[in-house]
Amino acid sequence: MPKRPPQAADFEVDATGMYVMPGIVDDHVHIGGPPKNPDAEYVYKLWMAHGVTTVRGVPLTSHAMSVSERDRSARNEIVAPRMFNYQTAGSGWDQGPVDRPEQARAWVQWAVKNGVDGIKLFATRPDIAKELITTGRAFGLGTMAHLGQTGVAQLNAIQAARMGLQTVTHFYGHFEALMRDYVVQPWPADMNYDDEQWRFGQVARLWDKIHPPGSPEWTAYLQEHLKLGTVFNPTMTAYAAGRDVMALRSRDWHARYSLPSLIDFYTPSLLNHGAYFHDWATEDEVAWRNFFQVWFRLLNDYKRMGGRVTVGSDAGFIYNTYGFGTIHEMELLQEAGFHPLEIIQAATMNPALSLHEPKARPLEFGVVRQGLLADLLIVGENPLANLKVLYGTGATRLNTKTGQVEQVGGVRYTIKDGIVYDARKLLADVAAMVERQKQERAKAPRR
Ligand SMILES: [Zn+2]
């Protein structure tokens, strides 16, 4: 062997012929919990098995548990990615809901002292949003907003960005800011936001109600975001079932890696978030397919101008299983027009920058560079040629010599903080958890 490092090592990886890239940073996650996935270990191992070495929890879970899990991961006491703790205003403290700007300010000051890394906004009242963003920024907290439909008429993506919001997650707020003939989305008269088939079915109808791609208004919108430094974190995978529910419901990995309890949670229901396919029609899917085309263009145009786009999965809902969803988001960026190298940038360096900048800290991970933390993934096949090789289930390929169909790829090793994890072993642990739950269910049949 040529050049070896001088010091003795705990573990030696022979990566001859393999491909190395920075560990993936998933910019939008939650860890679920009972009843859908009782153990966080299931989620952590799925992430790590897909090379995800850092996650932004928005929120990961409750504030107290997010802090303790983040710290345990930082000490490498658990097999889990590095975590960033984003929380909604008022979470964690005992001084009531944040319903006026002074409260918002007080909560931010409390949050800074109590282990919050950033603020997640929803349909937040504009005066409160402004206080959260301004005070948060002043104290080094990151900001991300899901500009929920119940508040978007008062605060859309460009208005929030003008307040200093860092990251717009999902698509909420973009399309509403670009509407052509309306200032409020023209909902049907019997629109019921709490009925999720209405909620998710109607958002897609915005696709042809906006200033069209390439129009002066469209370009000016993106240019203003670019100037303000807004980050777009689309989480397209979380909406992919809307355009083809059958495809997402029958993913190759569900049988082996999606817990039965998680599949239950995905199954149409009036109660579970994201289980909105009550009576999902071809027309709904067509609306979503049209919507995706416009959304793709928005993201790709923003990227082409130099805007920052980041990979986030928002998994644990809507047939979007942890780890697999992160890789699927990368595939969707390719569909949007990104080159695979740009996708890897969106999955590594871009979110890493977004996590470091509010803290005014130099980059510690997200690129392969001497002096940075050793957060890497190693895969036996070239992800630039086919992103599917990053899926735990790998990519399907016909071996033309043997005539056999093979599964190739799958992350081989995930390295976090210099600690090497065998990704296949992590997946085997996950498969065993799924199998165990299936057996428990077989023993105690449910009605
Ligand atoms: Zn989410």
User: What's the confidence (pLDDT) of residue 6?
Assistant: 64
- Of the candidates 282, 301, 184, 215, the one whose C-alpha atom is nearest the C-alpha of residue 242 is 282
Examine residue 161 and state whether it is found in any structural domain, yes or no. Answer: yes
- One-letter amino acid identity for 117? D
- State pTM to two decimals: 0.97
User: What's the confidence (pLDDT) of residue 340?
Assistant: 98
- For residue 149, the CA-to-ligand 1 centroid distance in Å is 14
User: What's the confidence (pLDDT) of residue 3?
Assistant: 67
- For residue 233, the CA-to-ligand 1 centroid distance in Å is 11
- For residue 416, the CA-to-ligand 1 centroid distance in Å is 24
* Per-position DSSP letters for 250-299, written without gaps between them: T-TTHHHHS-HHHHHHHS--SSSTT---SS--HHHHHHHHHHHHHHHHHH
- For residue 133, the CA-to-ligand 1 centroid distance in Å is 19
CATH number at 103 reads 3.20.20.140
Question: Contact at 8 Å (CB) between 387 and 380?
Answer: no
- For residue 146, the CA-to-ligand 1 centroid distance in Å is 8
Q: What is the CA radius of gyration of the chain?
A: 22
Low-confidence ranges of the chain (pLDDT < 70): 1-6, 445-447
Examine residue 403 and state whether it is found in any structural domain, yes or no. Answer: no
Examine residue 434 and state whether it is found in any structural domain, yes or no. Answer: no
Are β-strands 395-399 and 24-29 bridged in parallel, bridged antiparallel, or unpaired? Answer: unpaired
Cβ partners under 8 Å of residue 69, min gap 6: 31, 40, 60, 61, 78, 80, 83
- For residue 36, the CA-to-ligand 1 centroid distance in Å is 15
Residues 41-68: tens digit of each pLDDT: 999 999 999 999 999 999 999 999 999 9
User: What's the confidence (pLDDT) of residue 113?
Assistant: 97
- For residue 170, the CA-to-ligand 1 centroid distance in Å is 9
* C-alpha to C-alpha distance for 97 and 258, rounded to whole angstroms: 36
- For residue 310, the CA-to-ligand 1 centroid distance in Å is 14
- For residue 238, the CA-to-ligand 1 centroid distance in Å is 9
Cβ partners under 8 Å of residue 275, min gap 6: 196, 265, 266, 267, 268, 269, 318
Examine residue 236 and state whether it is found in any structural domain, yes or no. Answer: yes
383 preceded by a cis bond (ω within 30 of 0): no
**Distance set, CA 24 to CA 140, 157, 261, 323, 370 (Å):** 23, 26, 27, 10, 18
Percentages helix, strand, coil for the chain, rounded to the nearest 5? Answer: 40, 15, 45
Examine residue 447 and state whether it is found in any structural domain, yes or no. Answer: no
- For residue 436, the CA-to-ligand 1 centroid distance in Å is 28
- Of the candidates 307, 334, 336, 296, the one whose C-alpha atom is nearest the C-alpha of residue 213 is 296
Number of domains observed in the structure of the chain: 1
Phi, psi of 123 (to 5 degrees): -80, 70
Examine residue 10 and state whether it is found in any structural domain, yes or no. Answer: no
User: What's the confidence (pLDDT) of residue 133?
Assistant: 98
- For residue 28, the CA-to-ligand 1 centroid distance in Å is 6
User: What's the confidence (pLDDT) of residue 102?
Assistant: 96
Domain span at 341: 26-374
- For residue 61, the CA-to-ligand 1 centroid distance in Å is 11
- For residue 9, the CA-to-ligand 1 centroid distance in Å is 39
- For residue 60, the CA-to-ligand 1 centroid distance in Å is 9
* C-alpha to C-alpha distance for 188 and 169, rounded to whole angstroms: 25
- For residue 225, the CA-to-ligand 1 centroid distance in Å is 22
Cβ partners under 8 Å of residue 182, min gap 6: 209
- For residue 29, the CA-to-ligand 1 centroid distance in Å is 6
Examine residue 433 and state whether it is found in any structural domain, yes or no. Answer: no
Place of tokens 């109808």: 205
Cβ partners under 8 Å of residue 108, min gap 6: 89, 119, 131, 132, 135, 136, 139, 141
Examine residue 109 and state whether it is found in any structural domain, yes or no. Answer: yes
- For residue 30, the CA-to-ligand 1 centroid distance in Å is 6
- For residue 199, the CA-to-ligand 1 centroid distance in Å is 16
